[in-house]
Amino acid sequence: MNLGFQASERRSESFKEYDRLLRKLHNLERAGNGESDEAELVRDDMEWLYRRLSKDEISYFRSLLTKPYADSDRPSSSDKDVVSSDVEIRGSIEFRKQLFIDGKVEGEIISDGILTIGENADVRGEIKAKLIVIFGKVCGNIAAAERCELKSKCILQGDLRAARLVLEDGATLIGKSQVTNGVNLGPFLADRRNR
């Protein structure tokens, strides 16, 4: 995947620095240092720079939010699955790596992967995943083993348990939040790992 724009010379210095930090954070997380002091400093710098980006630049980075970085644009098995905005699902969803939901879902979502709830999404049900990023609306309890990010226009109605919580200005949380180590995603995930 190419992290630059075709007309990258027209992008701001803040964009270029944010892009550099995003790559650095990704490398830290891949090396298992996502919770280190260095990673925290990178996140703080990214948050400061984020406020200086244009809407176009922000949209670009949001599209990359949970995509793993690759050296090329070729499709790979690590690309995330997508539930688009015109799709409605009733029932449980299980996935392994990454899922982006921008439609309507009613039911439990469980995974040891990365879940992104898009701006158009309306999810009603319990969510358990390793990393959860919410831009849209969720009504139900959430458990994130590593991190949960509530973005500026999201609405979460339900209780939240996560090892790490990132809450942007403008995010709405109606319920209790608990930041704790060792969030257990349940025996289901342990069974899947052994398959």
For residue 71, pLDDT beyond 50: no
Record the tokens describing residue 193, joined without a space: 């790992």
For residue 31, pLDDT beyond 90: no
Q: Distance (Å, rounded) from C-alpha 49 to C-alpha 63?
A: 17
pLDDT value of position 173: 93
For residue 29, pLDDT beyond 60: yes
Q: Distance (Å, rounded) from C-alpha 76 to C-alpha 78?
A: 5
For residue 70, pLDDT beyond 80: no
DSSP E strands, 22-141: 81-83, 88-90, 93-95, 98-101, 104-106, 109-111, 114-117, 122-124, 127-134, 137-139
123 Cβ neighbours under 8 A, 6+ residues apart: 101, 104, 105, 106, 109, 117, 136, 137, 138, 139, 140
Give the Cα-Cα-Cα angle 30, 167, 8 (nearest 5 degrees): 60
- Dihedral through CA 18, CA 21, CA 26, CA 27, nearest 10? 150
pTM confidence score: 0.58
Asked if residues 127 and 143 have their Cβ atoms less than 8 Å apart, the reply is yes
Q: Cα(first)–Cα(last) distance of the chain, in Å?
A: 31
For residue 123, pLDDT beyond 50: yes
Q: Distance (Å, rounded) from C-alpha 143 to C-alpha 107?
A: 15
Q: Distance (Å, rounded) from C-alpha 28 to C-alpha 195?
A: 29
